[in-house]
Amino acid sequence: MLILGIETSCDETSVAVVRDGVTVLSNVISSSRKTFEALAGVIPEQAARMQIECMIPVLERALSEARVTMKEIDAIAVTRGPGLLGSLLVGTVTARALAAIHRKPLIGVHHTLGHLSSPWLDGGLTLPPSPGRIPAFPVLTLSVSGGHSDLWLRTSHVTGELIGRTRDDAAGEAFDKGASMLALPYPGGPSIERAARTGNERAYDFPLPLHGEDTLDFSFSGLKTSLKYLLRDQPDAPVPDAAASFQYAICRHLVHRLQKAIHRHPGVQEVHIVGGVSANARLRQAASDTCAEISPATIVRVPATLAYCTDNAAMIASAGEFIARELGDGAYATFATAASLPLAASMPGLN
Ligand code: KG4
Ligand code: ZN
């Protein structure tokens, strides 16, 4: 199928055209992030106003870059939640109007299911390089973004079990809050990664969260507090060293959970890391080193480009294709746009 994807859950306006869930013909992303960089966060009303202005130009560019017309599109997939309500409404109202005018089926996609589908786009990036290998279930997916830190054991695109979740902040949120303490710009993940490049990650010791507990859950609030005390007690601590040590502590915690999950579920074929934090090179390296050591047959797959790690419409189009393949007509059920939306509420097989 040729699917038009639309994603507007936060500060980005993105439209993509994807063939068969995997081949990206276009993926246009317009972000108002620069506007919010100095404010350490997004102002929802302002983000939605900017999305209204750029929605149609982004749509037109996505179609022209893909060299297709609306007539050739088989279905429209749009993020129905969760996210900022005003922003989600810009995308879903546009999708509903396009579907009505051009008489196309419409698929409401949960934002997280989009991230879970992102390693299929353009074949993903395998660590170590495994040319020609295509993803096979069961897949262990570490989904880490600004809004969630989850560990999924997936048996298909739309079925699986949530085996670990965060008890407090999300991993991306920890990066964002840490960056703000270090006076580094928003979003925090990329700025901490940049600052960490010249730092010593062993300069400061951070605790391993939930150490000794028999759980696959995550917790980042202790790391955040440790960083706060470090900066209080050692105000002259070099920012690169503090950033590198903090980044290392987050990655160590995430990879520790992956390691435990692989031991518990030895049938896993691949480990996928998705969401904004999957862009982090230190995390990728730590995950692939660990897999190579404990289970060499299990490869790590991350999204093929950094644009597929953070929010984008290609992953929504891909998820739309997989939902249609696995659910048939059920994929086109009517849906409500919702700011808060548990994944199981829109995809009962994933809970
Ligand atoms: O998936 P995403 O674009 O949006 C949400 O759905 O939340 O993720 C954004 C999050 C932010 O918290 C950002 O700091 C983090 O992903 N992030 C990173 C990196 N790039 C983005 N975290 C660590 N390292 C990065 N390179
Ligand atoms: Zn996201």
Ligand nearest to the CA of residue 309, numbered in listed order: 1
Longest dimension (CA), the chain: 63
CA 279 to centroid of ligand 1, rounded, Å: 7
**pLDDT, tens only, 298-324:** 999 999 999 999 999 999 999 999 999
- Predicted pLDDT at 324: 98
- Predicted pLDDT at 40: 63
CA 188 to centroid of ligand 1, rounded, Å: 8
- Predicted pLDDT at 36: 67
Beta bridge partners of 79: 109
- Predicted pLDDT at 14: 98
- The CB density around residue 100, as the number of other CB atoms within 10 Å, is 10
Q: Whose CA is nearest to atom 21 of ligand 1?
A: 276
Any ligand 1 atom below 6 A from CB of 277:
yes
Evaluate if residue 225 carries a pLDDT over 80. Answer: yes
CB burial of 46-69 (b: ≥16 within 10 Å; e: otherwise) equals ebbebbbebbeebbeebbeebebe
Q: What is the pLDDT confidence band of residue 45, given thresholds at 50, 70 and 90?
A: confident
Q: What is the pLDDT confidence band of residue 77, given thresholds at 50, 70 and 90?
A: very high
Instruction: Name every residue whose Cβ is closer than 8 Å to that of residue 131 and which is 6 or more positions away in sequence.
Output: none
User: Which of 310, 311, 316, 341 maximizes ligand 1 atoms within 8 Å of its Cβ, making it the mutation to test the pocket?
Assistant: 310
Any ligand 1 atom below 6 A from CB of 190:
yes
Any ligand 1 atom below 6 A from CB of 8:
no
Concatenated DSSP letters of 90-131: HHHHHHHHHHHHHT--EEEEEHHHHHHHGGGGGG-EEES--T
Helices first, then strands: H and E counts in the chain: 12, 11
Looking from the CA of residue 275, the nearest atom of ligand 1 is 1
Average pLDDT over residues 216-240: 97
pLDDT: is 179 or 37 the higher one? Answer: 179
Average pLDDT over residues 22-42: 82
Looking from the CA of residue 173, the nearest atom of ligand 1 is 12
Evaluate if residue 147 carries a pLDDT over 90. Answer: no
Any ligand 1 atom below 6 A from CB of 188:
yes
Average pLDDT over residues 242-251: 98
- For residues 171 and 218, is the Cβ–Cβ distance under 8 A? yes
- For residues 88 and 79, is the Cβ–Cβ distance under 8 A? yes
Evaluate if residue 38 carries a pLDDT over 70. Answer: no
Average pLDDT over residues 56-65: 98
Any ligand 1 atom below 6 A from CB of 83:
no
Looking from the CA of residue 148, the nearest atom of ligand 1 is 7
Looking from the CA of residue 111, the nearest atom of ligand 1 is 6
Average pLDDT over residues 19-38: 87
**pLDDT, tens only, 160-182:** 999 999 999 999 999 999 999 99
Average pLDDT for the chain: 95
CA 310 to centroid of ligand 1, rounded, Å: 6
Looking from the CA of residue 145, the nearest atom of ligand 1 is 8
Q: Whose CA is nearest to atom 23 of ligand 1?
A: 189
Instruction: Map tokens 């509903």 to a residue.
Output: 96
Q: Whose CA is nearest to atom 7 of ligand 1?
A: 146
Any ligand 1 atom below 6 A from CB of 147:
yes
Ligand nearest to the CA of residue 111, numbered in listed order: 2
Instruction: Name every residue whose Cβ is closer than 8 Å to that of residue 331 and which is 6 or more positions away in sequence.
Output: 105, 107, 320, 323, 324
Any ligand 1 atom below 6 A from CB of 187:
yes
- Predicted pLDDT at 39: 67
Any ligand 1 atom below 6 A from CB of 82:
no
CA 244 to centroid of ligand 2, rounded, Å: 24
Evaluate if residue 122 carries a pLDDT over 70. Answer: yes
- Taking phi over 0 as left and psi of -120 to 50 as alpha, with beta for the rest, 320 belongs to alpha
- Predicted pLDDT at 118: 98
CA 43 to centroid of ligand 2, rounded, Å: 17
